Amino acid sequence: MIVITGGAGFIGSNLVAALEERGETELVVADRLGSDDKWRNLAKRELADLITPEELLPFLDAHRGTVRAVFHMGAISATTERDADLIVRSNLRLSLDLFDWCARRGARLIYASSAATYGDGAEGFDDDGSLAALARLRPLNAYGWSKHAFDRRVARLVASGAALPPQWAGLKFFNVYGPNEGHKGAMMSVVAKTYPRAARGEVATLFRSHRPEYADGGQLRDFVWVGDCVDVMLWLYDHPEVSGLFNCGSGRARSFLDLTRAVYAALGTTARVEYVDTPLEIREKYQYFTEARLERLRAAGYGRATTPLEEGVRRYVQDFLARPDPYR
């Protein structure tokens, strides 16, 4: 049995699809579906069970000995969420409990960290999982801090010789885009937000730069195709001897203007862009540059090339967004 927390979400549902395509039939998703169309992310999947996060630990106890691995993708991922107590309960406390359960029961754990742990990038984007390196990072929001707090606790447990899962791996996801993100609302990728305007032939909107060293639309992010993230997780699953904290990105920073142009190009048109001020509530916490360093992942043995931005956007637009059924 494989358990996927957040399995109805964006990255989680893409992972569930890939596991099913590999022939896995004992897949259990722990997630909340709510009252919108999030359920459609799983509508094509065959599941052994679907449980709520509150049922997760009792479920695991009831099925101890049969759970091979837990993919922990579930979290409150909104960088604008202000309820820090809720974030701690969902992102930190549950993660600690899962790590402990996997260590005690001999199950493997692959979990989602985040590039938000790097804060403004002043310390770079090196996925050094040592206690000293992690202590230097300063996340800019409660979401990033919650992910960072768990990374630091894992590092402490490793350093102290505590009991560990037989495999543990954290992935610092950068700016992921791809199918099954429609439920995320304001947290959707710029590709998903831009596509409707591009399809109608309208002008796209991007944030204006508020730093002189960056042109409007020239803010740089590491945009990564969700399929690449899934490939890394499957590779880790196939290599139980590999543990550690790893970046998961494309390895190349590109501008929001590049991304927007790629959306229009996938539709065979030319982008027209207007710029609006970055909202004051996020302006001081806005990242102007992110770029995943992938040396540690490569050194661990992962050799697959990442998908170029234009190709990933083309797949997303033509194979999903432009179709009557945009779900994977």
Q: Tell me how many degrees the CA angle 165-300-177 measures, rounded to the nearest 5.
A: 85
Q: What is the DSSP letter of 254?
A: E
* 172 has catalytic annotation: no
Q: Which residue has the higher pLDDT, 4 or 78?
A: 4
Could you report the per-residue pLDDT of 189-216, keeping only the tens digit for each? 999 999 999 999 999 999 999 999 999 9
Q: Global pTM? A: 0.96
Q: At what angle do helices 226-238 and 10-21 cross, to 10 degrees?
A: 50
Q: Choosing from 111, 118, 143, 237, which is the catalytic residue?
A: 143
Which two three-digit tokens encode residue 214? 């960056």
Q: Choosing from 184, 214, 275, 286, which is the catalytic residue?
A: 184
Query: What domains can be seen in the chain, in order of their start residue?
Result: 2-177+223-250+294-306 (3.40.50.720)
* 195 has catalytic annotation: no
Could you report the per-residue pLDDT of 38-92, keeping only the tens digit for each? 999 999 999 999 999 999 999 999 999 999 999 999 998 777 777 888 888 889 9
Could you report the per-residue pLDDT of 264-308, keeping only the tens digit for each? 999 999 999 999 999 988 888 788 999 999 999 999 999 999 999
Secondary structure (3-state) at 114 = strand
